[in-house]
Amino acid sequence: MTLGRISLVVCIVLLALAPLTLSPFRLGLLAKYVCFAIVAVGIALAWGQGGMLTLGQGVFFGLGGYAMAMYLKLKEAGSAGLPDFMVWSGVEELPALWKPFGNPVFALAAVVLLPGLVAFLLGLLVFRQRVRGAYFAILSQALAAAFVILLVGQQGLTGGTNGMTNFSQFFGLDLTDPNGQRAVYAIAAVVLGVTFLVAKLLVRSRFGRLLVAVRDGEDRVRFLGYDPAVVKTITFTISAVMAGLAGALFVPIVGIISPALLGIVPSLELLVGVAVGGRFVLAGAIAGAIAVNYAKTLFSEDFAEGWLYLQGGLFVLVLVFAPKGLAGIVESVRYRLSSRKRAPSTPVEVAA
Amino acid sequence: MGALANQLPIGLSIAAVLLLIALGLTFTFGQMGVINMAHGEFIMAGAYTAYLLQGFTSQSFLIALPVAFVVAGLMGLLLEWSLIRRFYGRPLDTLLLTWGVSLVLQQLARDIFGAPNVQVTAPGWLVGGVDVLGVRLPYNRMFIVVLAVLCVVGVWVYLTRLPAGRRMRAVVQNRELAGYSGIATGRVDRFTFLLGSGLAGVAGVALTLVGPVGPSLGTFYIVDAFLVVVAGGLGQLRGAVLAALALGFLNGYLEFWTDASLAKVLVFVVIIAFLQVRPQGMFVLKGRTLV
């Protein structure tokens, strides 16, 4: 059994045992970290494997989250009622945009399709024109900025700055009840597992190798007859769908979705965990996302201002001293250990 | 028609602010390929410099301009020397690195000056305005436009007429050859960064004329300024000027016709559409590199 397998089994066991040992409050926090870990898998795909630094993951997270929140709000308001925030901002009739979200099937489809479609369109238009690297990063960040301003501005449609809150039901589960919370956590954990598996299969497939090739030498891949724009667009879309799923799960788990969670800074914060854990290794990205968000909770409880220094400093330190993150450190340690063991018998291999 | 004309000075002054910020980026991003997310915090530093200086003399505002240039410039120099020079050739990592720095700087400002916004009182001669053909031209906004024009001229003279500017262009076009020709490329890098960051400080002083000063002042403008550089073309002075004008007026008029929240989205759509026609921005340095 390899080290990777062992740590994977340990992680699964820990995630499975969590509902039995943690208090409902702590379990809710863990469930939130799991949501961020799902986003992290998508980022590791797009950024680590594909070299696309996306600074707008908050947009896709938000699209998924708002789609879910709209459904839950309508469910809560009943067949005739309006969501509470609409009443407060003086909206009298349900806007046409909201109507289809009363249907659970439509809402669930929107959670996946909405982020996917936006990412697909942006990716296609941008990558086709060979806009890449830093330019793509800036454009994705501009998208995040515009998205948040739009959400805040359309008060009657989106709840404005406050967003949407107060959810008590999630597909028949009572969110105020510890058992309901455990069930939601279980769903999130399973989604994380599936996301990880999908990403892993993708990375190992022919497509995954092509993706890495595009990252390392886009022009060469083009000369070989592939279309890098297609490869990048597909990957970017998948990563957006993952963020959308995470956003949809975030709503019942944390009980709020608002622009403050989706802007430029939150979108960048999603990257911190991936960078710390190691962007080139999927498991590293997950571990990093959970660890960094756990650290954030720890610090915010005691001294909130310190966290911003620590987060900024952590980012700088990781980039300067360990650009491959913790996973990179683990890898180099393992390489050194194994090369020392093998050195006497097969020195040629080590040299090569 | 009257409203259309009244919107003109507003669009022009948005354009001027964007241009002032984008000018600094033309140095750091355009010339050196460094995406400096902390550029916004250099703007903030310039604005706080004006805040600290006010009250010392009656002309503190004019004194603040060069002082802010030096303060922000030295901050940029320090950042380049301590961190960024280890990251050349890794533009995406620089982006994240400087964002980490920008987080720390914002929190530092919050700890030093407090989280609430502060106000810089504009000097008396910038209060009021003049009516030209029925259009109100506020003095403070006109001052920003003049300042932007002066800075553009200054940058143009520097880049095309002065030996130091020639050295900078040489390093940009061919770093190795410039190095072999006896140019200290490392020193040129540091100086480029000092100039670009210093311009951010000047922009910060100008911003105190149109709004309050707060720890997150820079973040409001930085994304738009980067868009100016993307739309204008990398390291192109005329591109930056044209793109800043276009984006400024687009912002001004769209906000007027629709509302502020839709305008941002529309501007984004326009830029994506523009990149379909000219993926590398308005002006492109002709070269033999593959793009």
User: Distance (Å) from the C-alpha of residue A198 to the closest C-alpha of chain B?
Assistant: 26
**Is the pLDDT at A6 greater than 90, yes or no?**
no
pLDDT for B289 equals: 52
Q: B259: which chain A residues are within 8 Å (Cβ-Cβ)?
A: 153
A interface test, pick of B98, B216, B223, B255 with most A CB neighbours within 10 Å:
B223
A interface test, pick of B108, B224, B268, B274 with most A CB neighbours within 10 Å:
B268
User: Distance (Å) from the C-alpha of residue A148 to the closest C-alpha of chain B?
Assistant: 9
Tell me the mean pLDDT in the region A273-287.
89
- Largest pairwise CA distance in chain B: 60
A219 in contact with B, Cβ within 8 Å: yes
A124 in contact with B, Cβ within 8 Å: no
Confidence class for position A351, pLDDT limits 50, 70, 90 = very low
pLDDT for A74 equals: 87
Confidence class for position A346, pLDDT limits 50, 70, 90 = very low
Closest residue on chain B to A309 (Cα): B104
Asked if the Cβ–Cβ distance from B96 to A133 is below 8 Å, we say no
Beta bridge partners of B118: B213
**pLDDT tens digits for range A221-241:** 999 999 999 999 999 999 999
Helix ranges, chain A (H): 3-21, 24-43, 57-77, 84-88, 104-128, 134-153, 155-158, 178-204, 206-216, 218-223, 228-254, 264-277, 282-302, 304-321, 325-342, 347-351
Cα–Cα dist A154/A89, whole Å: 11
Confidence class for position A24, pLDDT limits 50, 70, 90 = confident
Confidence class for position A214, pLDDT limits 50, 70, 90 = very high
Q: Which residue has the higher pLDDT, A216 or A89?
A: A216
Q: B291: which chain A residues are within 8 Å (Cβ-Cβ)?
A: 130
Which residue, among B282, B274, B245, has the nearest Cα to B8 in the 3D structure?
B245
Asked if the Cβ–Cβ distance from A142 to B96 is below 8 Å, we say no
Q: Could you tell me the residue ranges of all domains in chain B?
A: 2-277
A268 in contact with B, Cβ within 8 Å: yes
**Is the pLDDT at A317 greater than 90, yes or no?**
no
Note whether B20 and B199 are within 8 A (CB).
yes
B interface test, pick of A316, A317, A318, A321 with most B CB neighbours within 10 Å:
A316
pLDDT for A342 equals: 55
**pLDDT tens digits for range A188-207:** 999 999 999 999 999 999 99
Single-letter residue type at B213: V
**Is the pLDDT at A326 greater than 70, yes or no?**
yes
Q: A315: which chain B residues are within 8 Å (Cβ-Cβ)?
A: 96-97, 99-100, 103
pLDDT for B291 equals: 44
pLDDT for A350 equals: 38
Helix ranges, chain B (H): 2-25, 39-53, 60-82, 91-113, 139-161, 163-173, 175-180, 185-207, 217-232, 237-257, 260-277
Phi, psi torsion values for B281, nearest 5 degrees: 95, 180
Which residue, among A84, A26, A17, has the nearest Cα to A253 in the 3D structure?
A26
Asked if the Cβ–Cβ distance from A137 to B95 is below 8 Å, we say yes
pLDDT for B2 equals: 62
Tell me the mean pLDDT in the region A94-106.
86
Note whether B74 and B201 are within 8 A (CB).
no
- When CB atoms are compared, the residue of A153, A311, A319 closest to B259 is A153
User: Distance (Å) from the C-alpha of residue B118 to the closest C-alpha of chain A?
Assistant: 20
Asked if the Cβ–Cβ distance from A312 to B268 is below 8 Å, we say no
**pLDDT tens digits for range A112-157:** 999 999 999 999 999 988 888 888 998 999 999 989 988 988 887 8
**Is the pLDDT at A63 greater than 70, yes or no?**
yes
- pLDDT means over runs of 10, chain B (291 residues): 71 87 85 84 92 78 90 93 84 86 90 84 76 78 90 91 88 85 88 91 90 85 87 79 88 78 85 83 61 44
Note whether A261 and A279 are within 8 A (CB).
no
Q: A265: which chain B residues are within 8 Å (Cβ-Cβ)?
A: 219
Which residue, among A267, A261, A280, has the nearest Cα to A326 in the 3D structure?
A280
Asked if the Cβ–Cβ distance from A219 to B290 is below 8 Å, we say yes
Q: B2-277 maps to which CATH number?
A: 1.10.3470
DSSP letters, A204-259, are HSHHHHHHHHHHH-HHHHHHTT--HHHHHHHHHHHHHHHHHHHHHHHHHHHSEE-G
Note whether A18 and A105 are within 8 A (CB).
no
Q: B102: which chain A residues are within 8 Å (Cβ-Cβ)?
A: 312
Q: A132: which chain B residues are within 8 Å (Cβ-Cβ)?
A: none
- Largest pairwise CA distance in chain A: 80
